[in-house]
A and B are shown apart, each in its own frame.
Chain A
Amino acid sequence: MIQSVPDDPHSEQKQNESIEIQLLLEAIYLKYGYDFRNYACASIKRRIVRKMDLENIPTLADMQHRLLYDLDFFETLLMDLSINVTEMFRDPSFYKALREKVLPALQGTPFIKIWIAGCATGEEAYSVAVILQETGLYDACRVYATDFNEKALQQAKEGIYTAETIRQSTHNYKLAGGAASFTDYYTARYDNAIIDQSLKKNVVFSDHNLVTDSDFGEMNIIICRNVLIYFNRTLQDRVFQLFHTSLPPGGFLCLGSKESIGLSEYADRFDHIIPREKIYRKK
């Protein structure tokens, strides 16, 4: 039904809010160098507003002042703005494909380098390490797991997860075709579990920002799952370029199950080799 109505009083408020969010992200970039300006807007706004609710910060202007003048506060916000994966073997069918299709293609490669881009607190890196152990490739591999958030990296290195995470992970591990008992991979302590040293020794956690840093060497497999959904198209293209540079012909790129290289300008430089998973191979 079409009717005539007065101008929407909410639209000016919406415009102002959008300007203030942009200013806030600009302030973070200018002050601390972390660049969220090309993140997908709706998610980052939700995270900022949730933080304001938790801390009883009434306006975006107050929020900006606080994060400029209070480093400790900014660090907690940075943690909230990081992308956090909360379970191991999320999307078990991906790990099954990694085990059955991707890794066999690299058998015989003397030294396999795997880059996990945006590793957050390490769940995905250790999931990959488990698969490498069970396919007998662990000792021929080095896993480079990177994130821009140092606190997250610190947690990743410690490899301590809650009983709830382990419970969920055990379920996923079985669906992913887990060949052993998941309890072999951690030691339970009170309500936590610590990842076994044998999984950690070839996993290197390091600081790298997909938004602002360049590549750091040639990789055989790049795994970057559920990171690109948080980026806008401009930033996605930058990252695809980075990945393209970091892979040799035949190198594998693994994205999250709802992500795709299909609409980017790099689409025709990769073959989509496993239709049901977002696993691509550089031409």
Chain B
Amino acid sequence: MTTRPFRHECIVIGVSAGGMEALQKVLTVLDAGFSLPVVIVQHEAATSGGFLAHFLAGKCALPAKQAEDKEKLVPGTIYVAPPDYHLLIENDRTLALSIDAPVNYARPSIDVLFETAADAYGRALAGVILTGASVDGSRGLKKIKDAGGLTIVQDPQTAEASYMPRAALAAVEVDYVLKLEEIGHFLSAL
């Protein structure tokens, strides 16, 4: 059997209720030299105007922006799904948007991002489920696991809303269950 050097190439994060604070805690740990793209779906109201990307850009050492259609993923950049669009990753590692029907009552949906990212990156993907009150993301995290990727779920006891992490833990035999404050450090070592 041949072996070859391996490292992760992309991180996807799904988060819902309580997301702004949780994301801030995780992403501010990553320093300016961090070299993986981080792609985020947060459930946001269609009318929010996409505040989250601005918020993260102001807090993080890494550049943060709202994801654009056909945009090439750049290392060390944080991408946030625009409200009312699904965010997908194509096999050529560009971003894509769609207005397909909501999935799990959500658009953007975490499952849509995670499933397409698993297709694009296979085992080179790390998927993270944070706080939330939805089942969205469980199916996607399962797909990441099945494709050989790394799966991480926030310890429900440290989650503002524990439903989503619990649902993910029930659906997937995840690789790591971490406290919120541990997740950033863990990701920065990938």
Judge if B112 is at the interface, Cβ distance under 8 Å.
yes
From A7, A40, A46, A259, contact of B112 by CB (8 A):
A46
Q: How many Å lie between the Cα of A40 and that of B119 in the bound state?
A: 14
Binary B-proximity of A1-38 (CB < 8 A = 1, otherwise 0)? 11111111111001000100000000000000000000
Judge if A85 is at the interface, Cβ distance under 8 Å.
yes
From A6, A47, A230, A259, contact of B3 by CB (8 A):
A6
Interface residues in B77-108 by Cβ distance below 8 A to A read: 82, 85, 88-91, 96-101
Judge if A54 is at the interface, Cβ distance under 8 Å.
no
From B3, B88, B91, B97, contact of A258 by CB (8 A):
B97
From A6, A83, A233, contact of B1 by CB (8 A):
A6
**Number of inter-chain CB pairs below 8 Å:** 81
Q: Is the CB of B98 within 8 A of A43?
A: yes
Q: Is the CB of B148 within 8 A of A8?
A: yes
Judge if B2 is at the interface, Cβ distance under 8 Å.
yes
Q: How far is the CB of A53 from chain B (nearest CB, A)?
A: 11
Contacts A40-B90, A42-B88, A42-B90 given: A5-B3 contact, CB under 8 Å? Answer: yes
Interface residue stretch chosen among B4-12, B51-59, B157-165, B168-176: B4-12
Q: How far is the CB of B36 from chain A (nearest CB, A)?
A: 12
Residues of B near A46 (CB, < 8 A) are 88, 100, 112, 115-116
What is the interface residue range for chain A against chain B? 20 to 34
Q: Is the CB of B69 within 8 A of A258?
A: yes
Q: Is the CB of A230 within 8 A of B1?
A: no
Residues of A near B1 (CB, < 8 A) are 6-7
Q: How many Å lie between the Cα of A41 and that of B70 in the bound state?
A: 11
Q: How far is the CB of A90 from chain B (nearest CB, A)?
A: 8
> Count of chain B residues with Cβ under 8 Å from any Cβ of A?
33
Residues of B near A43 (CB, < 8 A) are 88, 96, 98, 100
Judge if A229 is at the interface, Cβ distance under 8 Å.
yes
Q: How many Å lie between the Cα of A263 and that of B71 in the bound state?
A: 10
Judge if A202 is at the interface, Cβ distance under 8 Å.
no
Q: How many Å lie between the Cα of A7 and that of B123 in the bound state?
A: 10
Pick from A8, A9, A43 the residue with the most CB of B within 10 Å.
A43
Residues of B near A10 (CB, < 8 A) are 122-123, 147-148
Q: List 30 A-B contacts (CB under 8 A).
A: A1-B190, A2-B6, A3-B5, A3-B7, A4-B3, A5-B6, A6-B1, A6-B2, A7-B1, A11-B122, A14-B119, A14-B122, A40-B90, A40-B96, A41-B91, A42-B120, A43-B98, A43-B100, A45-B119, A46-B100, A46-B115, A46-B116, A83-B99, A226-B99, A229-B69, A229-B97, A229-B98, A230-B98, A258-B85, A259-B69
Give B residues with C-beta under 8 Å from A: 1-7, 68-70, 82, 85, 88-91, 96-101, 112, 115-116, 119-120, 122-123, 147-148, 189-190
Give A residues with C-beta under 8 Å from B: 1-11, 14, 18, 40-43, 45-47, 83-86, 90, 226, 229-230, 233, 258-260, 263
